[in-house]
């Protein structure tokens, strides 16, 4: 898998063309033996070809709009793209009006020269960490594909579009882990920025309090390049931070609960590698995290806010929902206004106390998920689906509740089940966290990056 920087150099040096990149992506999407039909709910083949030809003509005349001009990327199905109906992985919205304009992040990607190749599949209304979709199919995880493992969600198609090189960058959302879980399950990188650093306007909401927009890609540097564009920052350079002397906290409460043995071994291996590279690792209790289940016992922000978005649809069209999604939304309908106010206060209090515990560290380290990608056959019963979904979201949702930034990088041994190592940085510390993550990636990654 080539990085965005390598693709940009190939385009600049004439070793490749945008049309070639687009055609290669379209060929992989259309391959009947591949996952394209389940990964994309709509493919923008003709507009992508037209954009590619435009950028190739500009380059032929010595004009370059940006270094990224002509590189294909995928867009999660909950973002408005001019002329498309935004279905958010649901059947319920299919008959709605097409978007009159691109949402902010799609407009920024186009302005930077990226070529949207299509809209990626997702969990209906983004409300699950496993990535299943009964309406459009579920794209299969690349690991042990013959056995049928979940891709992770809700940005399921986004992750598979990267692993299968159907695009070279993907834009997803993260409300409780929806970029980082599929990244961890599939062995790629997923970044969740500080909420509201990237605009969510024109994206179908799950929880406005927790929603954030972030990239998935094959490397930290690729995510950093996309993140700079999504956040409308003036530079896309990544300052890699020296690992020696960096101080990392490993919370011993909550985030190390219920680890599968392979995840535990991979995490311990990554910690040893980081220590060997000169990083300082400190185990701390951070027992405040044990309060999260009690704080969120009535459905939390996602439950209350999703119910506010969907309550009228649920009354009129409930049979058209994925029943597992409607079940989760309805579980929060009895949360009162007073409960919600208590939740806001509890969040602010927990953020303050955790910030005090982590202020002396560069980042907190933990397994992205306590489990590897589950087999789809193990998710057939509703009881197991609920249990495993809660496990998938267990660690990643911590970051959203605390309103911090976080990134998942692969840390498993090559050839084994993918496992993610999550770095949780401070609120607003996004670019520095990315720089640290690039140094961590170079030490713990299962395979050398080109």
Tell me whether residue 178 is one of the annotated catalytic residues: yes
Count Cβ atoms below 10 Å from residue 442 Cβ, excluding itself. Answer: 16
Output the furthest CA–CA distance in the chain (Å, rounded). Answer: 63
Q: Which residue of the set 161, 178, 212, 266 is catalytic? A: 178
- Count Cα neighbours of 286 within 13 Å in the Cβ-side half-sphere: 28
376, 148 contact by CB (below 8 A)? yes
CA distances from 80 to 119, 142, 428 (A): 10, 28, 26
Please say whether the dihedral angle defined by the alpha carbons of residues 271, 272, 275 and 280, taken in this order, is positive or negative: positive
Question: If you write DSSP's letter for every residue of 259-314 in order, what string do you get?
Answer: --HHHHHHHHHHHHHHHHTT-EEEEE--GGGGGHHHHTTT-HHHHHHHHHHHHHHH
Label each residue of 330-379 as H, E or C. HCCCCCCHHHHHHHHHHHHHHHHHHHHHHCCCCEEEEECCCCCCCEHHHH
Three-class SS state of 73: strand
Task: Kindly state the tokens that stand for 191.
Answer: 């970044």
Distance between alpha carbon 402 and the CA centroid of its chain, in Å? Answer: 17
Tell me whether residue 416 is one of the annotated catalytic residues: no
Three-class SS state of 176: coil
Q: Which residue of the set 2, 16, 74, 76 is catalytic? A: 76
Question: If you write DSSP's letter for every residue of 82-148 in order, what string do you get?
Answer: TTS---TT-STTTTSPPPSS--HHHHHHHHTT-EEEEEEP-SGGG--SS---TTT--PPPSTTGGG-
Tell me whether residue 155 is one of the annotated catalytic residues: no
> Which residue(s) pair with 284 in the sheet?
251
Q: Which residue of the set 90, 154, 155, 326 is catalytic? A: 154
Parallel, antiparallel or unpaired: strands 72-76 and 170-173:
parallel
Annotated catalytic residues are 76, 154, 178
């Amino acid at each position: 898998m080539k990085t965005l920087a390598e693709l940009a150099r190939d385009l600049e040096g004439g070793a490749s063309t945008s049309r070639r990149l687009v055609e290669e992506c379209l060929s992989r999407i259309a391959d009947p033996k591949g996952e394209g039909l389940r990964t994309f709910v709509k493919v923008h083949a003709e507009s992508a070809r037209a954009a590619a030809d435009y950028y190739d003509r500009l380059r032929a005349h010595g004009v370059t709009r940006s270094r990224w001009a002509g590189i294909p990327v995928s867009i999660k199905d909950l973002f408005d793209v001019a002329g498309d109906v935004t279905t958010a992985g649901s059947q319920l919205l299919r008959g709605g009006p097409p978007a009159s304009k691109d949402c902010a992040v799609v407009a920024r990607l186009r302005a930077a020269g990226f070529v949207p190749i299509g809209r990626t599949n997702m969990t209906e209304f983004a409300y699950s960490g496993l990535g299943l979709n009964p309406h459009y199919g579920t794209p299969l995880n690349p690991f042990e594909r013959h056995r049928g493992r979940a891709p992770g969600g809700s940005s399921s198609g986004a992750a598979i579009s990267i692993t299968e090189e159907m695009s070279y960058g993907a834009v997803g959302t993260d409300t409780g882990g929806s970029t980082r879980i599929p990244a961890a399950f599939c062995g790629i990188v997923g970044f969740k920025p500080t909420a509201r650093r990237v605009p969510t306007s024109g994206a179908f909401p799950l929880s406005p309090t927790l929603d954030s927009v972030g990239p998935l890609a094959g490397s930290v540097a690729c995510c950093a390049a996309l993140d700079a564009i999504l956040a409308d920052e003036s530079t896309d350079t990544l300052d890699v931070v020296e690992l020696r002397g960096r101080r990392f906290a490993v919370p011993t409460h909550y985030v190390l609960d219920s680890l599968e043995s392979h995840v535990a071994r991979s995490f311990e291996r990554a910690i040893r590698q980081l220590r060997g590279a000169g990083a300082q690792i400190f185990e701390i209790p951070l027992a405040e995290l044990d309060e999260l289940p009690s704080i969120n016992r009535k459905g939390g922000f996602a439950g209350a806010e999703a119910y506010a978005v969907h309550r009228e649809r649920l009354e009129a069209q409930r049979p058209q929902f994925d029943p597992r999604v409607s079940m989760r939304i309805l579980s929060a309908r009895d949360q009162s206004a007073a409960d919600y106010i208590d939740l806001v206060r509890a969040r602010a209090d927990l953020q303050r106390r955790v910030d005090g515990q982590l202020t002396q560290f560069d980042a907190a380290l933990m397994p992205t998920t306590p489990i590897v990608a589950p087999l789809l056959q193990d998710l057939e019963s509703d009881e197991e689906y609920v249990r495993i979904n809660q496990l998938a979201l267990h660690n990643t949702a911590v970051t959203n509740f605390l309103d911090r930034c976080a990134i998942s990088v692969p840390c498993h041994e090559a050839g084994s089940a993918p496992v993610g190592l999550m770095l949780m940085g401070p609120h607003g510390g996004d670019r520095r966290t990315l720089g640290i993550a690039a140094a961590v990636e170079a030490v713990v990654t299962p395979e050398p990056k080109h």
